[in-house]
Amino acid sequence: MNKSSAVSGFYKLSPQERLRFVREFSKLTDEEAKVLISMQALKLDDANRMIENVIGGITLPFGIATNFQIDGKDYLIPMAIEEPSVVAAASKAASMTRKKGGFKTAYTGSIMRAQIQVVECDVRKASKAIVKAKEEILRKAAGQSPTLTSLGGGPKDVKTRVLKTPSGSMLIAELYVDCKDAMGANAVNSMAEAVAPIIERVTGGTVLLRILSNLATERLATATATFAKGELGGAEIVDGIIQAYHFADFDQYRGTTHNKGIMNGIIAVGLATGQDTRALEAAAHSYASMSGRYRSLTSWKKNRDGDLVGSIKVPIAVGIVGGSASVNPIAKIGLKILGVKSAGELSKVMASVGLAQNLAALRALVGEGIQKGHMKLHARNIAVSAGAKGAEIDAVARIMIKEKVVKFARAKEILEGLGRK
């Protein structure tokens, strides 16, 4: 039976009570629950094997966005992020579209491309030679990742492009690899390095770079969702959101911030599930400018009923096997909470969260602004930094919000006042 992720008042629970709900929903073990709540997931030895010169670790808040229904399935969404309001905003947007059927998604497949740069050659002859050697190149590449190949993935095609540059003409051979449920960077890079000698031999040129492209245009996730105008606050809000979208789509300064809001959602899920978030950022922003100008990753329009319909199309190269997802215990738990069965499913969830985030940001921006939503958590943070403890935190925050003065100095004064009583 499909469990419901629509939990009312989730935000009012204590972290322990929320964890109890998530444990039940996602069948977490005692050990997994303990790891989550300990906030000390990654062991020093594991961290020391992951990167160089390790001296410790850094922890981020790990929250759960509720209400998500994607292609008819309910999800609790793990999000790791330091910014207030993001988790609440995603949950709110998901609850609004839930009444209209939730998110509908698609995925193009997990194809990544490796680029092999060939210089000092006759580019036309070299291109023909590479096409002729295609089978040999694919065979060699497949040998680098027998498991992937046995699963039906692996290298699928080789194409070439000629670039005219200030360094002269160069040939770029591109190897297309189906990475299935892996993000694939390691496999793809190994393949690119392995086939380079064949490419040098057949072209007579010199191979320089052998590296995957993060612009994953063959790995696109799309999500669409409808939001009833009544839910959003009326026809004016719908029109305002469409105007806000056009602002972002036609102005790079606004578009960058608009897309940053989308990435708040995508990256938070990426961090909670152990993904290469720099790759996700690079791909998304580069894709946003593919048409020759930097554009919104989402689009918004009105349907015949006057409801708002949004969609997002974004490259999302993620994995559920290999990479840091297999080392970091928190990432494994994040994936278990989501219950995704493939990298494609994870990509579609992330695109939906990005769309939800964008809707929430635009609705707040055309309405009351974003500061009010931020204020409560911000005030509590300021209270803590001024030295408030336990019940004092909420007491100091409440006074600052009432006075509309959320400042460190005021928090100190209020604390002193509380102490004197």
Residues annotated as catalytic (active site), given as ranges: 83, 260, 276, 374
In the bound state with ligand MEV, the residue whose beta carbon lies nearer, of 260 and 302, is: 260
Q: In the complex, what is the shortest distance from the CB of residue 257 to ligand MEV, in angstroms, rounded to a whole number?
A: 4
Buried b (16+ CB within 10 A) or exposed e, 350-387: bbbbbbbbbbbbbbbbbeeeeeebbbbebbbebbeebe
| 261 forms part of the interface with ligand MEV (CB under 6 A) | yes
| 310 forms part of the interface with ligand MEV (CB under 6 A) | no
Q: What whole-number distance in Å separates Cα of residue 69 and Cα of residue 103? A: 6
In the bound state with ligand MEV, the residue whose beta carbon lies nearer, of 45 and 82, is: 82
Q: What whole-number distance in Å separates Cα of residue 70 and Cα of residue 58? A: 32
Greatest alpha-carbon span in the chain: 87
Q: Considering only residues 173-232, where is the footprint of ligand MEV by CB under 6 A?
A: none
In the bound state with ligand MEV, the residue whose beta carbon lies nearer, of 113 and 258, is: 258
**Beta-bridge partner residues of 111:** 178
Q: Which residue is it, tokens 């959101």?
A: 241
What tokens does 368 get? 């009351």
Q: What whole-number distance in Å separates Cα of residue 166 and Cα of residue 235? A: 53
Which of 106, 370, 377, 395 is in the footprint of ligand MEV by CB under 6 A?
370
- Which one of the spans 37-45, 258-266, 296-304, 316-324 is the region binding ligand MEV (CB under 6 A)? 258-266
| 260 forms part of the interface with ligand MEV (CB under 6 A) | yes
Q: Considering only residues 61-90, where is the footprint of ligand MEV by CB under 6 A?
A: 83
| 374 forms part of the interface with ligand MEV (CB under 6 A) | no
| 257 forms part of the interface with ligand MEV (CB under 6 A) | yes
Q: In the complex, what is the shortest distance from the CB of residue 239 to ligand MEV, in angstroms, rounded to a whole number?
A: 17
Shortest Cβ contact with ligand MEV: which residue? 261
- Which one of the spans 162-170, 215-223, 259-267, 332-340 is the region binding ligand MEV (CB under 6 A)? 259-267
* Nearest CA-CA partner of 319 in 333, 340, 294, 290: 340
| 18 forms part of the interface with ligand MEV (CB under 6 A) | no
In the bound state with ligand MEV, the residue whose beta carbon lies nearer, of 258 and 376, is: 258
| 371 forms part of the interface with ligand MEV (CB under 6 A) | no
In the bound state with ligand MEV, the residue whose beta carbon lies nearer, of 370 and 384, is: 370
* Nearest CA-CA partner of 388 in 410, 404, 411, 406: 411
In the bound state with ligand MEV, the residue whose beta carbon lies nearer, of 98 and 258, is: 258
- Which one of the spans 93-101, 232-240, 260-268, 270-278 is the region binding ligand MEV (CB under 6 A)? 260-268
| 4 forms part of the interface with ligand MEV (CB under 6 A) | no
Q: What whole-number distance in Å separates Cα of residue 53 and Cα of residue 311? A: 43
* Nearest CA-CA partner of 236 in 309, 300, 310, 306: 306
What tokens does 340 get? 């995704």
State the number of binding residues for ligand MEV (CB under 6 A). Answer: 9
Alpha helices in 251-317 (DSSP H): 252-272, 277-288
Q: For residue 421, with 0-12 CB atoms within 10 Å meaning exposed, 13-18 middle and 19 or more buried, which class applies?
A: exposed
| 264 forms part of the interface with ligand MEV (CB under 6 A) | yes
Q: What whole-number distance in Å separates Cα of residue 293 and Cα of residue 36? A: 42
Alpha helices in 28-75 (DSSP H): 30-38, 44-50
391 DSSP assignment: H
- Which one of the spans 199-207, 257-265, 272-280, 403-411 is the region binding ligand MEV (CB under 6 A)? 257-265
Q: What whole-number distance in Å separates Cα of residue 87 and Cα of residue 79? A: 7
* Sequence letter at residue 258: H
Q: Is the dihedral of CA 310, 315, 321, 326 positive or negative?
A: negative
In the bound state with ligand MEV, the residue whose beta carbon lies nearer, of 176 and 247, is: 247
| 363 forms part of the interface with ligand MEV (CB under 6 A) | no
| 243 forms part of the interface with ligand MEV (CB under 6 A) | no
- Which one of the spans 153-161, 252-260, 318-326, 384-392 is the region binding ligand MEV (CB under 6 A)? 252-260
Contact positions toward ligand MEV, by CB under 6 A? 83, 257-258, 260-261, 264, 361, 365, 370
